[in-house]
Amino acid sequence: MKIRKHIVAGTTGAILTALALTGCGSSDSSSTAAAATAVSTVDASQTVAQVLADDKEAHDTSSDGDYAEDDVVDISLDGSSASSDGDGVTLDGSTVTITAAGTYRLSGTLTDGNVVVDAQGADVTLILDDADISSSSTAAIAATEVDRLVVVLPDGSSSSLSDADSYADDADVNAALFSAGDMTITGEGALTVTGNGNDGIASKDGLVIDSGDITVTAVDDGIRGKDYLVVNDGTVTVTAAGDGLKADNEDDADAGYVLVTGGSITVEADGDGVSAATDLLVTDGTIDVVSGGGSSTAPADDVSTKGLKSGVITVVEGGEISVDASDDSLHSDGAVHLVDGTIELATGDDGVHAEGGLTIDGGTVTVSKASEGLEGADIAVNAGDVSVTASDDGVNASGDAAETTEEAAEADGTEQQGPGGGGGETVGNFSLVVTGGTLVIDSEGDGLDSNGTATISGGTVVVNGPTNGGNGALDVNGTFTVDGGELLAAGSSGMVVTPSEDSEQGFVSITLDAAAEAGDVVQVVDSAGDVVATFTASKAMQNVVYSSDAIVDGDTYTAYVGGTASGTSTGGLAASGSLDSATEAGTGTAGEAAAGGMGGGRMGGGTPPDAAAQQ
């Protein structure tokens, strides 16, 4: 567990003390609980630069791969033996041992042999120039004593490494390409690595991939750097029975991170696609992940099958990410910050899940399939284009049941609601805030859901809510205010939630006399006969809640079914519409909250859509 300024101001000294005890091996349950609480309070507004400022600096690779040809020691591999007349090389049958710093070129085939680097404190460069090395007893290449191992893949070359089909449980060397020190992989050539016994490529310190066409197949993890794993460029393809890409140092506060700044990464993993013990950071590049069999496979109980996972924070500032995961597509035990990029997610569980804060400040985020689309204790949508399709809740501000207590509610200045106000549910210390961007939700459960409070002050929010009367397009346990922006929430009429009457912006809730069907145009019209909102239903609906600066408190608004929609559409909310051939379907008075009136109030009533529509 790491302790650093990632944790937001206000974390108590007791929590930090408990974290320190946990880091020292304390098994006290209160310390463990405090550690979990601290991780959930990670600052979700951090940039990649801010996070990296607290992390261990990756080794400088700017000169890795540079060498003078006259300084290269050639090692020729010839079946079961090898030959070399250079210094720093010891030959023993099919075992090649490098004992000094320098640059060594490996070429040819070594059948059932291996290359050992035993050069304590030294920097060693291995040029794999059409080198094929396989071993039946250990790693193909094992740098057991080295400060830095640089693997160069010359342009136009193609090399391969494969290892033993098993290792002892306590084996130190346990990957086809292994380094006890830092490792760099560079060059424009190709490398195929087969990890028959455990991992494909592993470093016990840091691992940086600067370039190359790298293909890894492994019976456990594909590519693993203990302190950090950095991908700056190249093409990386991993098929793993364990995790795909991984940094797994959980002991050091500044280590255990994954950073992707470029290149193309494709992962198919039975476990997690990309897993960081602490931070997972993306600034550019392409990442394509299938984990745990994909979104059509139920998450396993005993194996983590998340797409991209971090222990402290995930920050995406660019690039293209596509994830098809059995479990959460993007998951963090702490926080998630999405700043830019194109992110496409499909999952058998949550699209984006943060135990703490989830902040979206830009980019295009599409959750095409999920149980719950976005889930976090504190969710903020400030910019960007977000689209969510969910079989349960679309956006859910919630957390552990232990936090949804009266004490947490009192700490947030709210109270437990009685019948009608928030459905009689406890108000937790959770929040959902929308200040900008577009948020489009298509859900079978609750659409926009907060177990605490909710506020909309900007942007456009469109909810294609449930047909089931037991759920609602809007569901807020505590106060729900709309102070700006545009909100249209359509769904069943069984559990209608409206904003608070003290919202700064007007709103109106209208229950239709009969359910509109998928494809029907529903229009909200003011008392002067002007259309203020035009919405095309994607499924059966019987209630619409609408808020914009066109709504005036106290005025009466009428819903019509029919007419036409025109102009740009955002989740079915059109730029304009007309009432040609439309039929009046219901009225409502602006500013009247649902029963309870506390904001997030619910009201029953109305006739739900027909039974077929609720299946």
Diameter over CA atoms, the chain: 95
Please write the tens of the pLDDT for every residue from 338-387. Answer: 999 999 999 999 999 999 999 999 999 999 999 999 999 999 999 999 99
What proportion of the chain, given as a percentage, has pLDDT over 70?
Answer: 86
Q: Grade residue 594 by pLDDT with cuts at 50, 70 and 90.
A: low
412 Cβ contact partners less than 8 Å away, ≥ 6 residues apart = 427, 428, 429, 452, 453, 478
Average pLDDT (185-197) is 98
CB 447 within 8 A of CB 392: no
**Res 11 pLDDT > 50:** no
Range of the domain at 570: 455-614
CA–CA distance, 259 with 564 (Å, rounded to integer):
49
Please write the tens of the pLDDT for every residue from 394-438. Answer: 999 998 744 444 444 444 444 433 333 344 468 999 999 999 999
CA–CA distance, 549 with 421 (Å, rounded to integer):
25
pLDDT at 194: 98
End-to-end CA distance of the chain: 45
Q: Grade residue 39 by pLDDT with cuts at 50, 70 and 90.
A: low
Continuous segment of H or E residues that includes residue 82: strand 81-83
Please write the tens of the pLDDT for every residue from 169-178. Answer: 889 999 999 9
- CB burial of residue 419 (10 Å; 0-12, 13-18, 19+): exposed
Nearest-5° Cα angle at 75, 74 to 79: 150
- Our separate counts of H helices and E strands in the chain read 4, 54
pLDDT at 118: 97
Nearest-5° Cα angle at 194, 193 to 200: 75
Please write the tens of the pLDDT for every residue from 468-510. Answer: 888 999 999 999 999 999 999 999 988 899 999 999 999 999 9
pLDDT at 146: 98
pLDDT at 31: 42
Q: Grade residue 40 by pLDDT with cuts at 50, 70 and 90.
A: low
CB 419 within 8 A of CB 601: no
pLDDT at 489: 97
| Residue 412: closest CA among 397, 394, 434 | 397
CB 577 within 8 A of CB 521: yes
CA–CA distance, 96 with 99 (Å, rounded to integer):
10
CA–CA distance, 603 with 421 (Å, rounded to integer):
9
Nearest-5° Cα angle at 293, 290 to 298: 125
Is residue 371 assigned to a domain? no
- Computed over every residue of the chain, the mean pLDDT equals 89
Nearest-5° Cα angle at 182, 287 to 91: 115
In terms of DSSP H, where are the helices of 42-114? Answer: 48-54
pLDDT at 490: 96
Q: Grade residue 9 by pLDDT with cuts at 50, 70 and 90.
A: very low
CB atoms within 10 A of CB 57: 10
DSSP, res 421: B
Is residue 603 assigned to a domain? yes
DSSP, res 401: G
177 Cβ contact partners less than 8 Å away, ≥ 6 residues apart = 139, 140, 141, 151, 161, 193, 200, 201, 202
Is residue 462 assigned to a domain? yes
Phi and psi, residue 401, nearest 5°: -55, -30
**Res 534 pLDDT > 60:** yes
CB 302 within 8 A of CB 326: no
CA–CA distance, 315 with 157 (Å, rounded to integer):
35
Is residue 492 assigned to a domain? yes
Q: Grade residue 6 by pLDDT with cuts at 50, 70 and 90.
A: low
CA–CA distance, 468 with 167 (Å, rounded to integer):
54
The number of distinct structural domains making up the chain is: 2
Is residue 367 assigned to a domain? no
Q: Grade residue 92 by pLDDT with cuts at 50, 70 and 90.
A: very high
Q: What's CA 63's distance to the chain center, in Å? A: 33
pLDDT at 609: 39
CA–CA distance, 176 with 135 (Å, rounded to integer):
9
439: tokens are 């948020």
Question: Picking from 230-239, 401-410, 493-502, 540-549, which range would have the lowest pLDDT averaged per residue?
Answer: 401-410
Is residue 560 assigned to a domain? yes
Note the pTM of the prediction, 2 decimals. Answer: 0.90
Q: Partners of 287 in the beta sheet?
A: 265, 321
What is the bridge-based pairing of β-strands 521-525 and 556-561? antiparallel
| Residue 260: closest CA among 58, 44, 60, 40 | 58
294: tokens are 């994909």
What proportion of the chain, given as a percentage, has pLDDT over 90?
Answer: 82
- CB burial of residue 162 (10 Å; 0-12, 13-18, 19+): buried
**Res 563 pLDDT > 70:** yes
188: tokens are 């424009």
CA–CA distance, 116 with 188 (Å, rounded to integer):
24
Is residue 225 assigned to a domain? no
CB atoms within 10 A of CB 527: 11
What is the bridge-based pairing of β-strands 431-434 and 453-456? parallel
Q: Grade residue 29 by pLDDT with cuts at 50, 70 and 90.
A: very low
DSSP structure string for 521-557: EEEEE-TTS-EEEEEE-SS-EEEEEEESTT--TT-EE
CA–CA distance, 28 with 148 (Å, rounded to integer):
39
Average pLDDT (573-577) is 96
CA–CA distance, 26 with 23 (Å, rounded to integer):
7
Please write the tens of the pLDDT for every residue from 303-326. Answer: 999 999 999 999 999 999 999 999
Is residue 144 assigned to a domain? no
